[in-house]
Structure 1
């Protein structure tokens, strides 16, 4: 491949901030015509932000984007962006109730006499497009009946019909089984021969080596390296992704080993969620923090949701010896399980309610006689949480929506602790917070387990996992490895990314 070619897309010095949070500090990327270019990096590395900029969904604070040597369209010129780039996301963007043909020509349906929509022209145009790009799907099929594999091919065909010959594939194999992945890769190879260029984003590094010619690594919101995959072995690639071992969080280094005969506080026996993860056996003992690591498609978050009653599941879960009913959040709370969800903005708090109301939401029936909420009791509990977690707030009456991300996350932690649980289930507990907030949040987990609670900490952030006594790794719905405290970071990341005998 000739390096003198004009890149299909080139990003230079792209930066994006959200208040104090740096989402991207130095985004650089150059994708050459006809290649499949890998983009890899840990969670929070800046990949999603760059994709938002490359597709015209985000306006960068600094930097430039060019397509085929020309400046990117203005943000308002959606047709111009569609002519240059398309993105097929892990989550479907098709409208399930419409047919394949209607999805392919959404907002641009062919018209017949008197400007009326023409179903026959629509079907013919869709058939021609599907045939041109060899997508084996009938145009009249409702999109909701498509397999994930078919849906992705339909979305690619729709993107190409706008004139784009550069397609971003965001975790395209996350929901595919092995044979479907092989078929997808065959189609991508054929499309490359027809002049289509791909940016391939994946947490499964062997796929990068299988189909990509070059790879770019992002770390800590910055470009680290771009190199031919043939010149970068897996050790070098993982090292570029994690960098040198960081010392941001050294909490828990003096934790004593949990005795093997310590009382179980959370027991999972053959727990499974159909189509998401296979049966899991796992025990958390009093005083122990057990980490669960894995990529977004590993099943780790769904495992946590099954434990707290948010998902239907099979198998048996016991908390402090009490069997927990499946798919029952109230029963999980009664059993002594506290929960910190993975997305505070969606599931973690109610922004228009106060700090006190959010903190005590799960224990409102305990704040006064006959289930009444006495403000003095509610505010007293909130003030204690504010002090314990070092929440920077004007007081219990301040709206949570007015707090910084780190302080809002502390309120979500306070809510998880409010019921005095025996076991905490924490999903990405330090996502999107600053270093000081990370230390406070992980310090709280460390302190609570020293009081003989247990914790199931679901994350793949190394700072989170370092505080754990044990870490299990999930890949594609299976537990594939377990590590004691002091694990080798490169080995753990390699397992998460699917490298090795997993």
Structure 2
């Protein structure tokens, strides 16, 4: 059984990028039909370097990484490994050469356990014949322990949350003895605590000499972590620079081709009517020994025009609050939900939608969109029956609805007939939001609304959220793992810790330190 060795070594004054590149891409070009994904791109990576690769969605970052890792064997230009030209026909050849990749989109088998997924295709065997599951569990437990990941190796991956599945992906990639590790948005579903844990591992690997390509939209994250940064825009190389010589504004300008002012909070001028009231909300989920409470006594009111943020660490119960309110939670819910003062019996998303609620899930590709279907089909999906005439779909009505969403939300597309899966991450998110806005909700639940989208698209989503609350009077709940986002958007922030509500604080009283204090496992004591 092989694995990425993680050791703690002393910090040294070094500039890893000054050595000969362990991996280099020269004049790389890639087309998909008539679309140019990459044009004459250059990239170098040195041993022991953490090299950030940045750019807006569609800039070509992931395309280059898929070329380097053997996913795309056909391309223009050449790839050099230790100065020698190489060409990988598939991912296995790249892995054999010491290149491992963590894809942005999860690549796990839901029906298998954590241990089975980590070592899939490389299972330890007894006498080379029978799979040694005991050894596999032990090796997986050891690797997860090194990474500081508290997951049961025997747990079925399909039962894990998105963020937990991302941690399994990281463990799986590091289980190879990789000389080069490509990480494509590895923290997109992680809380600040999990991010810091990952950063420690990344730094340790770099000190050992592992070369790391780190793709992320989070500028503060890469400035904190990377030695150098390369920026792509529209499939072309724009900039490579030492990170210490740059500011956040420099990186943003290189990514978007213009100065982009930071979004500013649009304050709520006055509190509207109470649209949603939650009292003593609870949720129990099946457990090996019966039932386990994942929510305990959550209570709050939400008013028209208000944005309520929900913060907390991964597994604190943030998403479960939204799912329980929306009727999509698995398990036994409890407590009281009132809509405009009337007691609501919400047993399914259909009940919630009928009462004027809408929910945008954190996993837009798995739960929010049908990727092979058109923008029209996705936007119109909740309203197909309402738009139909005599039981026959109204394609004209659906198209009109989709065009209204495209225009209102600024969705960049060729036409409303374009497949949702071909859009950038930010535009996909707008399609999901447009789908639910078409139902004309009064309460909008947003779970990680900017996960995996670039800085320009984030600004557009923020502006949209403020417009929906301040101009249209929607009551909005936002769950976010990004602290700056939570502080920017929220009028009040409800903080969760281990399934319990530990604080409900106003915007002017909120700070990262205060939220993290309440979110920590001892947050209940701090709040007492």
Alignment partner of 1:39 is 2:52: yes
Write the distance in 2 (CA, Å) between the matches of 1:411 and 1:70.
Answer: 45
Write the distance in 2 (CA, Å) between the matches of 1:237 and 1:94.
Answer: 41
- What does residue range 15-26 of structure 1 map to in structure 2 within 5 Å? none
Counterpart position of 1:82: 96
Kept in 1: contact 2:79–2:85 (CA 8 A)? yes
Kept in 2: contact 1:299–1:474 (CA 8 A)? no
Alignment partner of 1:144 is 2:154: yes
- Structure 1 30/425 Cα, relative in aligned 2: closer, same or farther at 3 Å? same
Counterpart position of 2:275: 265
Write the distance in 2 (CA, Å) between the matches of 1:455 and 1:50.
Answer: 38
Counterpart position of 2:81: 67
Name which of structure 1's ranges 89-98 and 447-456 shifts more when overlaid on structure 2. 89-98
- What does residue range 92-241 of structure 1 map to in structure 2 within 5 Å? 93=108, 97=112, 104=119, 106=121, 117-119=128-130, 143-145=153-155, 155=172, 158-160=175-177, 164-169=178-183, 171=186, 185=200, 189=204, 195-199=209-213, 214-216=227-229, 218=231, 224-227=239-242, 231=244, 238-241=248-251
- What does residue range 191-340 of structure 1 map to in structure 2 within 5 Å? 195-199=209-213, 214-216=227-229, 218=231, 224-227=239-242, 231=244, 238-243=248-253, 246=260, 257-260=268-271, 262-267=272-277, 284-288=302-306, 305=323, 307-312=325-330, 317-323=337-343, 328-340=348-360
Aligned partner of residue 351 in structure 2, secondary structure = helix
Write the distance in 2 (CA, Å) between the matches of 1:219 and 1:481.
Answer: 40
Kept in 2: contact 1:257–1:469 (CA 8 A)? no
Larger Rg: 1
Give how far 1:259 is off.
0.8
Write the distance in 2 (CA, Å) between the matches of 1:180 and 1:256.
Answer: 30
Counterpart position of 2:467: 446
Give how far 1:278 is off.
9.8
Gaps of 5+ in 1: 485-490
> 1:221-248 deviations in whole A, cap 9, x for unaligned?
76655426xx46xxx5544554475269
Kept in 2: contact 1:446–1:467 (CA 8 A)? no
Kept in 2: contact 1:294–1:300 (CA 8 A)? yes
Aligned partner of residue 159 in structure 1, secondary structure = coil
- Structure 1 192/131 Cα, relative in aligned 2: closer, same or farther at 3 Å? farther
- Structure 1 209/429 Cα, relative in aligned 2: closer, same or farther at 3 Å? closer
- Structure 1 193/324 Cα, relative in aligned 2: closer, same or farther at 3 Å? same
- Structure 1 39/289 Cα, relative in aligned 2: closer, same or farther at 3 Å? same
Give how far 1:270 is off.
7.0
Write the distance in 1 (CA, Å) between the matches of 2:456 and 2:221.
Answer: 33
- Structure 1 201/341 Cα, relative in aligned 2: closer, same or farther at 3 Å? same
Aligned partner of residue 419 in structure 1, secondary structure = coil
Write the distance in 2 (CA, Å) between the matches of 1:182 and 1:448.
Answer: 35
Write the distance in 2 (CA, Å) between the matches of 1:278 and 1:218.
Answer: 45
Counterpart position of 1:488: none
Kept in 1: contact 2:118–2:168 (CA 8 A)? no
Give how far 1:331 is off.
2.4
Write the distance in 2 (CA, Å) between the matches of 1:467 and 1:136.
Answer: 35
Aligned partner of residue 97 in structure 2, secondary structure = helix
Give how far 1:423 is off.
2.2
Write the distance in 2 (CA, Å) between the matches of 1:223 and 1:475.
Answer: 42
Aligned pairs, number: 464
Give how far 1:83 is off.
1.7
Kept in 2: contact 1:337–1:425 (CA 8 A)? yes
CA RMSD of aligned residues (A): 6.7
> 1:203-233 deviations in whole A, cap 9, x for unaligned?
88898788x57242647676655426xx46x
Name which of structure 1's ranges 60-69 and 102-111 shifts more when overlaid on structure 2. 102-111
Kept in 2: contact 1:338–1:421 (CA 8 A)? yes
Give how far 1:37 is off.
1.2
Kept in 1: contact 2:108–2:117 (CA 8 A)? no
Give how far 1:424 is off.
3.0
Kept in 2: contact 1:129–1:157 (CA 8 A)? no
Name which of structure 1's ranges 67-76 and 278-287 shifts more when overlaid on structure 2. 278-287
Kept in 1: contact 2:179–2:209 (CA 8 A)? yes
